[in-house]
Structure 1
Amino acid sequence: MIWSLVRRSRAGLPAPGQCAPGRHVLATERLLLFTPRTLLDVAAALAASADAEAQRWLGNQTDRIAPDPGTRRVLLEWRPAGDDGRRVPRRLAKPFTPGPDDPVFLVCVRRADLSYAGALQLEHRAGEMGGWLAPRCRGQGLGAELFRAGAVLAHTHAGMSTVRAGAETGNAASRRALARAGFVPDEGPPRHTLPDGRVIDSVWLRHDATAASHCT
């Protein structure tokens, strides 16, 4: 496993332990998560959540997603810029720099083949996190890994002692994944308004740490 991470780093991907101000890297058994380096990373992460099933739960505004299935498929077939030998289109190869007040946003790739797998977002000011997986990565237990990574990001990278996550009451997959990641039931508003204006029934869970720290 250590050799695998070293090899991925030499291929151009960041490795755990190489965080910098405003940029984070962490890994689970099967996933590598890092602050996007290029616009391709961002576009692929959003494409992973743009299908109808994901949007049923996320309700993102249309300007944040790729509505065309063909575009989503093409984006998710790429590998992070420069790591599969193909020349990335110039507009997508541009560097991505997170804003100082932006939520912490990490793109997620599968360590086995470096394919884009989803994303994780931490609203550090609100103390809340969320995430999603690409269609081909669902139903494999990766959701629990993703949310465990979110807890690690909150506790040991962002210095948060408690992080919360909300889910629609009918989203059994997310609720199971959060529970497997160590989240426990918490109090929270029973109704939640999604970005597209839909109001859903919601449940809330939290993850606590005995100690919290910052990575940089």
Structure 2
Amino acid sequence: MFFDRFTRRGRLMAKRTCDPSGHAFEVAGFLFRTPTAWEYAAAVACGSDPDAQRWLGWLDESIVAEPLRAEALRVVPGTGPEWASPDPLSVDLVAIDLSARRCAGLVSVHSGEDGGPETGGYLAPDYRGRGVGRVLFTAGIRLAHEHLGVRRVRAGAEIGNVASGRSLEAAGLIRVAGPPSYRLPNGRVTEAWWYEHTGRTARACAGPPAGWLRARHDSAEAEAFPA
């Protein structure tokens, strides 16, 4: 099958630290790392089932359908070629279960509709309802504060998505005021709860910065040193 040649142990599985090619850190038995191309395919498959799509609302072309979904979920972490994010405004990390050697989901820090940093993510079906959401959003907070140099990050959840709200609060985010609604990629408009986390400090690591941070830096330099 399509992914069979990538289900062997790969050399990138050993990558556990940040460098200019990507981010990597551990939280509670999970490795969060800039994915390879096949890890990213597995991560997308983690959120492609109908239960996840009820809340995520992706475009049809973004959803991995069966039988490719089952194949992608069998990808062994550390396999596949290097991957470059198609969205320069998002830093995406695959969640890898180190004990099971499986891709378990994805977390990101990205530019929100107002241009401010937001975190979000999702888990594969086997990892839902097990308290792993707290780990996922803890990783999102760490990515923002300790790797991208963002001191304040927010997250949204659809009203009624109690599991997501509980996971965000368990990770330390608190409910705050925000826009009453937001638009999903497929165009559906939904009512929203908003959450926020502010770090005591913020620093950037050796990994690549987010595109909107580069743009902000370039803009600041242009104002300081006009042509």
Tell me if structure 2 keeps the 8 A contact 1:22–1:98: no
* Alignment pair present for 1:110 and 2:97: yes
Instruction: Find the counterpart in structure 2 of residue 40 from structure 1.
Output: 38
Letter in 2 for 1:141: G
Letter in 2 for 1:95: E
Letter in 2 for 1:23: G
Tell me if structure 2 keeps the 8 A contact 1:22–1:100: no
Tell me if structure 1 keeps the 8 A contact 2:10–2:78: no
**What TM-score do you get using the length of structure 1 for normalisation?**
0.84
- CA distance in 2 between partners of 1:201 and 1:10 (Å): 42
- CA distance in 2 between partners of 1:94 and 1:13 (Å): 12
Letter in 2 for 1:149: A
RMSD between aligned alpha carbons? Answer: 1.9
Letter in 2 for 1:162: R
- CA distance in 2 between partners of 1:134 and 1:127 (Å): 24
- CA distance in 1 between partners of 2:81 and 2:24 (Å): 20
**What TM-score do you get using the length of structure 2 for normalisation?**
0.80
Moved more, 93-102 or 117-126: 93-102
Deviation of the 1:159 alpha carbon:
0.4
Tell me if structure 2 keeps the 8 A contact 1:33–1:107: yes
* Alignment pair present for 1:64 and 2:62: yes
Structure label with greater radius of gyration: 2
CA deviation vs aligned residue, 1:170-189 (integer Å, no higher than 9, x gap) = 00000000000000011111
Q: How many residues align?
A: 195
Instruction: Find the counterpart in structure 2 of residue 134 from structure 1.
Output: 124
Letter in 1 for 2:69: R
Stretches (4+) displaced over 3 A = 9-12
Q: Percent identity?
A: 36
| 1:195-210 → structure 2 map (5 Å cutoff) | 195-210=185-200
| 1:1-216 → structure 2 map (5 Å cutoff) | 12-16=12-16, 18-21=17-20, 23-37=22-36, 39-68=37-66, 70-82=67-79, 93-98=80-85, 101-124=88-111, 126-216=116-206
Deviation of the 1:109 alpha carbon:
1.1
Letter in 2 for 1:13: M
Letter in 2 for 1:60: W
Deviation of the 1:113 alpha carbon:
1.5
Tell me if structure 1 keeps the 8 A contact 2:35–2:93: yes
**CA 1:23–1:11 in structure 2 vs 1: closer, same or farther (change >3 Å)?**
closer
Tell me if structure 1 keeps the 8 A contact 2:152–2:197: yes
Tell me if structure 2 keeps the 8 A contact 1:167–1:175: yes
Q: Secondary structure at the match of 2:137?
A: helix
In the alignment, structure 1 segments of 5+ residues that lack a partner are 1-8, 83-92
- CA distance in 1 between partners of 2:125 and 2:87 (Å): 31
Letter in 2 for 1:156: E
Deviation of the 1:100 alpha carbon:
8.3
- CA distance in 2 between partners of 1:51 and 1:77 (Å): 15
Q: Secondary structure at the match of 2:88?
A: coil
Q: Secondary structure at the match of 2:187?
A: coil
